[in-house]
Amino acid sequence: AITPVILCGGAGTRLWPASRESMPKQFMPLLGELSTFQETMLRVADGSVFGRAIVVTAADFRFVAAEQLQAIGVEADIVLEPARRDSAAAVAVAAEMAARRDPDSVVLALAADHLVRDAEAFVAACRRAAALARQGFVMTLGIAPDRPATGYGYISPGAPLGEGGARVERFVEKPDAATASRYVAEGYLWNSGNFLFRARDMREELAACAPATLAAASAALDAAVRDLDFIRLDARAFAAAPKISIDYAVMEKTQRAGVVPVDCGWSDVGSWTAVWEVSARDAEGNAVRGRASLVATRDSLVHSDGPIVGLVGVDNAVVVASRDAVLVTTRERAGEVKDLVAALRAAG
């Protein structure tokens, strides 16, 4: 069985004010009733393919994670990070845990904040990638890009590996806009951020590419304590892990990366524009959640956590109201919310 590892300790600021430090994107119900964390867990719940999952998250999110798991009736080991060290450390902890149980076990490290329309296609691609992981490749699922987005990892696929997969010739995390345009024209894929590998292979790659991360993760696990259903990593040991993502730490460096392209209706819903795109919309093109009244308004997104929102005569608007903050922007510029959040943080 494949061991799913759900990485859900990120902060996710581009969906402010709904996504906050205290309640990041992956735990929010963005579209339906369930959060993307819950949908991710259910996507890998088929016992004939997947084993018991490991959830790796920030200690602050332990109750929301546990409650959301209970709500969907899924059990998992929940590993708590005492500090944010980004995804390389989280993957290292999971790989180390899995390797101690069975070094040959295949791990599927999943982002928890993505939308996948076709779960069957996703699982089928995971099975093909797992077959290649069993041959020693560190696999990722690739997505055909539809625009030169700068927030993704880009992969140049090389020699075919079978199972529809290919070697990764080059992996470039978050290139600038001009480079991203060139990559799209040259047939690069996006990295979806979902990785498959044998536990011992990831351990070896971390030892080679990011030894400080592996050492910190391993020591934090050695000194971890059980607290109810939680596994609390040792704070002092974990603090020594460099703050770096798995993409920079391993995927850009490893010589044994492979990619399986997947067409599964994937979106990382990274902005309110993306939320509007994937939402059900009414005849006027509006996506509305919560209490709102719209008059002569088209192609807009309105989300409210409480206040009644009224719009008259505006098109392409994005209005998000939480209890203590309101965002007003346009669909075109909603991606710049991250700058707004940075400015708010700087202002304290």
- Closer of 39 and 247 to ligand GDD (Cβ): 247
First-to-last CA distance in the chain?
47
The CA distances from residue 338 to 34, 57, 184, 343, in Å, are 24, 22, 24, 9
Site for ligand GDD in 164-193 (CB under 6 A): 173, 190-193
Regarding 304 and contact with ligand GDD (CB under 6 A), the answer is no
Within 117-249, strands assigned E span 138-143, 153-162, 165-173, 189-198, 225-227, 230-232
d(CA 186, CA 209): 28
- Closer of 39 and 81 to ligand GDD (Cβ): 81
| 186 CB-near residues (< 8 Å, 6+ apart) | 156
Regarding 236 and contact with ligand GDD (CB under 6 A), the answer is no
Regarding 335 and contact with ligand GDD (CB under 6 A), the answer is no
Site for ligand GDD in 194-213 (CB under 6 A): none
Rounded to a whole number of angstroms, the minimum distance from the CB of residue 25 to ligand GDD is 8
d(CA 286, CA 304): 14
Regarding 30 and contact with ligand GDD (CB under 6 A), the answer is no
Give phi and psi for 213, each to the nearest 5: -65, -45
**CA–centroid distance for 294 within its chain:** 33
Using the rule CB under 6 A, which residue among 13, 19, 38, 57 binds ligand GDD? 57
Rounded to a whole number of angstroms, the minimum distance from the CB of residue 191 to ligand GDD is 4
How many C-beta atoms lie closer than 10 Å to residue 124's C-beta? 16
- Provide the phi-psi class of 166: left if phi over 0, else alpha when psi is between -120 and 50, else beta: beta
- Closer of 273 and 286 to ligand GDD (Cβ): 273
Rounded to a whole number of angstroms, the minimum distance from the CB of residue 146 to ligand GDD is 14
Interface segment toward ligand GDD; rule CB under 6 A; list 4-12, 156-164, 289-297, 325-333: 4-12
- Provide the phi-psi class of 199: left if phi over 0, else alpha when psi is between -120 and 50, else beta: alpha
Number of residues that bind ligand GDD (CB under 6 A): 26
The CA distances from residue 341 to 14, 266, 324, in Å, are 8, 26, 15
| 200 CB-near residues (< 8 Å, 6+ apart) | 99, 103, 104
Using the rule CB under 6 A, which residue among 113, 163, 201, 204 binds ligand GDD? 113
Regarding 148 and contact with ligand GDD (CB under 6 A), the answer is no
Regarding 261 and contact with ligand GDD (CB under 6 A), the answer is no
Using the rule CB under 6 A, which residue among 3, 38, 68, 87 binds ligand GDD? 87
Regarding 112 and contact with ligand GDD (CB under 6 A), the answer is yes
Using the rule CB under 6 A, which residue among 2, 53, 54, 56 binds ligand GDD? 56
Binding residues for ligand GDD, rule: CB under 6 A, are 7-10, 26, 56-57, 81, 84-87, 90, 111-113, 151-153, 173, 190-193, 247, 268
